[in-house]
Copies of this chain bind each other. A is one copy, B any other.
Amino acid sequence: MGSGESRPGKVSLCGDTSSKASESPAEPKGKRPPVLVDGVTLNGPTLDIREAESFLREAMPIVMEEAVWKATDVKEKVCEWRSPEQLKDLLDLELREGGEAHPQILQRCRDAIRYSVKTGHPLFFNQLYAGMDPYSLVGRFITEAINPSLYTYEVAPVFLLTEEAVLKKMIEIIGWQDGGDGIFSPGGSVSNMYAVNVARYHHCPDVKVLGLSALPRLVMFTSQECHYSVSKAAAFLGIGTNNVYVIPSDKRYAGYSLPFMVNATAGTTVLGAFDPLEEIADICERHNLWMHVDACWGGGALMSKKHRYLLQGIHRANSVAWNPHKMLMAGLQCCAFMVRDKTNLLQRCHSAQASYLFQQDKFYDVSYDTGDKSIQCSRKPDAFKFWLMWKAIGTKGLEERVDRALAMARYLAEEIKKRDGFRLVMEPEYTNVCFWYIPPSLRDTADGPEFWRKVHAVAPVVKERMMKKGSMMVGYQPHGDKANFFRQIIISPQVSREDMDFLLDQIHSLGMDL
């Protein structure tokens, strides 16, 4: 019998916690002589939990005040611009032998927040995500504190079940009436990689074991304007970027090869355009091609009875990528990859059956250990925050937000048409409002290469002035043969009509002298 059995009090450790403080393992400190191993004293814990508590008590009001309330207050700056060189000096980045005291660390927290871009600010329009949802935020604080990893039910029961519940509902909303399967991934790019991998595995299951060198050259198709992750996926997965063809316009396709998938985009990154999914589904059915819809951005419209027509036909897709961290404000990252398949394709395609993790002799139903469907081992509980937010505001609340964001984009587009010096790039389909600002000095110049060359130079300067002022953030980019234009993205319900007016006023005031 082990010597430890002389301490039977331990056995009852975790029953009723109210009356057993003296039985806890860390408690009897000092009852035994100190043990020294390799020069290290091992009695008792060395993390001082009181000190940790005092630090957290001091730090949390800073986090809440500076990183939550001020960061979402329209009266505060969106950013406090510093050049990389200046910021390096300000932050004192170097990691040294000795540690620092709490007051210094608290100051570092304040500085990190101060010089960060406030992506939850109502005037942050720079990316395809924005805003702050309090329920999602609390969900995130919970998961950061609990620090789970989603391989097995054993270590992440709540987070695996909430992931399953969210996927089930998203699949229902896509319209796959017989269900499907899915997994949350670290980003839409990775979701699109999943699509390429399951599509080729579906066509050639041998690829997993034999690799691409044993197969004919695989080729995939994508619509124009797809996200750059489709190229990244082709490169990373060994397909090669040359084997990605653009439909229907691409004439290059020829030679001995095996077409296996089409990537369609629902909500393109720059223009917010939607591919005609029904037509693409027809082509895919005719040619037996896997149809993947990258709805990372446009998927939000599925929540709206009014706007889901934009994705008409998505139920015919074989797989869908949809990021609720974008339009639905679930917080980065929250990215679902879903397949219509019900033959355990995700598992078959990605599993490696690690026996140390996915033991089959467990005492519960191991079909809940879904981690082997993933290409990751450690995986964050990205669905939980979305689940909590969804519970709090309901499907109806999500729908109202989407409807409002689209109405706001419509308002902005109409304002742009009314105002001198602003020109729409195209009528918005979604909440990307793309437009040029033409300074007064150019308004009498005729359209032509010279005009556009000058317009091209306007947005970068306006952007620089905007950043240095910290008044708002909106993106710009060239696109195909089009000169630099602004891309305004609307998401957050904290954004008001007045903010749209402000945006246009501000661009004019920053660029009127150009």
Contact = CB atoms under 8 A, between A and B. Distances in A.
A10 B232 contact: no
Interface stretch (A259-267, A444-452, A464-472): A464-472
A500 to B, nearest CB: 8
Nearest to A42: B497
Q: By CB atoms of chain B within 10 A, which of A27, A215, A471 has the most?
A: A471
Given A37-B407, A99-B396, 13 more contacts: A7-B505, A14-B77, A17-B76, A47-B133, A95-B169, A96-B394, A117-B155, A186-B380, A211-B242, A227-B377, A229-B377, A269-B354, A335-B378
B142 A112 contact: yes
B189 A380 contact: no
B99 A496 contact: no
A120 interface: yes
Q: By CB atoms of chain B within 10 A, which of A37, A38, A119, A154 has the most?
A: A37
A243 B3 contact: no
Contact of A64 (B40, B44, B60): B60
A245 B31 CA distance: 53
A122 B189 CA distance: 37
A329 to B, nearest CB: 9
A144 to B, nearest CB: 4
Interface stretch (A285-293, A311-319, A336-344, A362-370): A362-370
Q: By CB atoms of chain B within 10 A, which of A52, A241, A353 has the most?
A: A52
A29 to B, nearest CB: 7
A250 interface: no
Interface stretch (A67-75, A174-182, A276-284): A67-75
A9 to B, nearest CB: 10
Interface string A112-134: 11011111101100110101111
A481 to B, nearest CB: 12
Interface residues of A, number: 236
Contacts of A237: 236-238
A347 to B, nearest CB: 12
A221 interface: no
Contact of A356 (B133, B270, B349, B422): B270
B333 A11 contact: no
Contact of A74 (B1, B26, B165): B26
27 contacts: A2-B419, A7-B501, A7-B505, A8-B509, A10-B505, A14-B469, A14-B471, A25-B74, A28-B498, A35-B497, A46-B400, A47-B133, A47-B492, A55-B135, A60-B138, A63-B145, A83-B365, A94-B165, A97-B396, A108-B391, A115-B158, A116-B159, A119-B148, A141-B141, A189-B376, A213-B243, A356-B477
A114 to B, nearest CB: 9
A501 B4 contact: yes
